[in-house]
Amino acid sequence: MEEKNPEGEGVKATGSWATIAAELRNAIDAGRHAPGSRLPSERALSEQFGVSRVTMRRAIAQLEGEGLLRIARGSGAYVRADMPVRFKLGNKVRFSKNLTATDANLTRKIFSAKEVPATADIAARLNLQPGETVLEMCVVAYADALPVSVVMRSCSAERFPGLTEKFATTSSFTAALKGYGVADYWRRSTDITARMPTETEARLLQQSRLTPVLAYAGEDIDADGTVISCQIGCFASERVVVTI
């Protein structure tokens, strides 16, 4: 079989677009391409299957039409995340209780942690003086291998020394905070807006910068009403449903 490439030259294809689409569909169904993950590039897939990019483009278009893929211009083809993760917004925000997903294992990972001088905005949220040292932890939440949220969690480095290590040991901020005398805490407020992701957020969420995120900002307080942390982050809008 011979077809024409974009330059009008004849190219030999070793498989039809329908055959390629079927193989990709089977790979998605078998979980070899996880929900929300990006497929290899069009060029890489063409080389893998031994077909022209014209054939591969048509196969991908077929799966997009079936609702299996989402095409992000300038980024690539992504497997659609069929199962949204639900986040229940209330005055108590706990990862294990507020974030739920049927048949998915929810985990968190600290992507980075560092002590930095507080900016004017962070200092105001934490009731600190600008320039005071704060601990910034970038935390990514996953539903299985699929990232669903990215948040920068900031707190006083003086009040919570070693918090990163305690969280790594317990996998729970609630448990880690008890080591500092914080028996319980509440969410004082949460603001949610829609915006486009930053380059870092898009990379960590494994999504296109052209897809909006649900951005949020909030502060947590202890039993005395003292702010213990602020969180500024975002949810992948196509993967998370916020319930109030």
pLDDT tens, 198-225?
999 999 998 888 889 999 999 999 999 9
pLDDT at 100: 64
d(CA 217, CA 152): 10
b/e burial code for range 64-101 (CB count within 10 A of at least 16 → b): eeeebbbebeebbbbbbbebbbebeeeeebebeebbeb
pLDDT given for residue 1 in this prediction:
40
The span from the CA of 128 to the CA of 119, in Å, is: 10
Burial, 44: exposed, middle or buried (Cβ in 10 Å; 0-12, 13-18, 19+)? exposed
The mean per-residue pLDDT over the stretch 128-151 comes to 92
What is the 8-class DSSP label of residue 181? T
If DSSP codes are grouped into helix, strand and coil, which group holds residue 62?
Answer: helix
Place of tokens 């942390």: 229
| Cα separation, 115 vs 141, whole angstroms | 21
Do the beta carbons of residue 10 and residue 4 sit within 8 Å? Answer: yes
Does the pTM surpass 0.75? The reply is no
pLDDT in tens, 23-81: 998 888 777 887 778 899 999 999 999 999 999 999 999 888 776 788 877 788 888 76
All domains in the chain, ordered by first residue? 2-79 (1.10.10.10), 85-243 (3.40.1410.10)
pLDDT at 13: 41
3-state secondary structure of 44: helix
The two three-digit tokens of residue 140, written as one number = 């990514």
**Could you tell me which of 3, 29, 32 has the C-alpha nearest to residue 16?**
3
Residue 101 is predicted with a pLDDT of 54
